[in-house]
Amino acid sequence: MAALLSLYQNQFLIFVLILTRISGLVMTAPVLGLRTAPMQVRAILAVALAILVTPFHWQTLANTPASTLELAWMLSHEILLGLSLGLCVHILFTGLQFTGQIMGQLSGMSLADVFDPAHDGSVPILSELMDRVTLAVFVIIGGHRELMQVLLDTFRWMPPGNTAFGPSLVDALTQVTSNSLALGVRAAAPAMVSLLLANLLLGLINRTMPQLNIIAVGFGLNVMILMVVTAASLSAIAWLFQDAAWETIDTMRDAFETLAP
């Protein structure tokens, strides 16, 4: 057994490094790493992907670690690479969840929170709606396949055990975060403007008819306007997210390619 392990020591190390990098993506990617999926399912998915990828790098010679500390250092680099790739798309999804929070706060719909097992807590119902829409758009445009393609390309640019990090990756994550915030504000802009005009109109009505229960009327009017504007702008939001998703993936691909030795 010891002789067999010694014979395939390099191949086993390659498999472990590849599995670690893939696990980082599976844990954080919006489609692959859904928290609603059982941990066993995600673990099986990561192992299955590693088994499929490893034969393509069977002849790669990895630097054999001299100690457990050095092995842990190599594994930490591998998992951080996968985490950064999945985290960039997760940040983009957060921008649309921010849209739902803005719309809920302005309309009063923030009172209707729902429990989301993915966040292990209550979230605004509009944030949940935006999350489901963006997830559907991401799957339809093939974003999950593109993520896997970028991950496979990283093995070509940075073979297992030769992972590198640099300022370009930090700049890419900063740019993705900025784009995510801009996307959230742009997606919420129609509802923000409509609700602002509705509140100004209600203020004028309250000045002319003080006896009117403006709170009861205003809540119903805001909800009705929000539903109409959301239904009218949902396709535009999906289009904005599609463009932002491709830009985010391309940004991370360029950052990883820059880090290639």
Q: In the chain, how many domains are there?
A: 1
**Average pLDDT, integer, range 121-126:** 67
Containing 114, the helix (H) or strand (E) segment is strand 113-116
Rounded to whole angstroms, the Cα distance separating 173 from 253 reads: 12
Rounded to whole angstroms, the Cα distance separating 200 from 81 reads: 49
According to the model, what pLDDT value does residue 110 have?
61
Rounded to whole angstroms, the Cα distance separating 30 from 44 reads: 17
Expressed as residue numbers, the domain containing 95 is 2-258
Q: How confident is the model at residue 105 (pLDDT cuts 50, 70, 90)?
A: confident
**Average pLDDT, integer, range 108-119:** 57
Average pLDDT, the chain: 79
Specify the higher pLDDT residue, 46 or 204. Answer: 46
**Average pLDDT, integer, range 13-39:** 80
Cβ pair 53, 155 in contact under 8 A? yes
pLDDT per residue as tens digits for the range 41-92: 788 888 888 888 888 877 777 777 777 888 888 888 888 888 888 888 888 8
Specify the higher pLDDT residue, 261 or 187. Answer: 187
What values do phi and psi take at 32, rounded to 5?
-75, -30
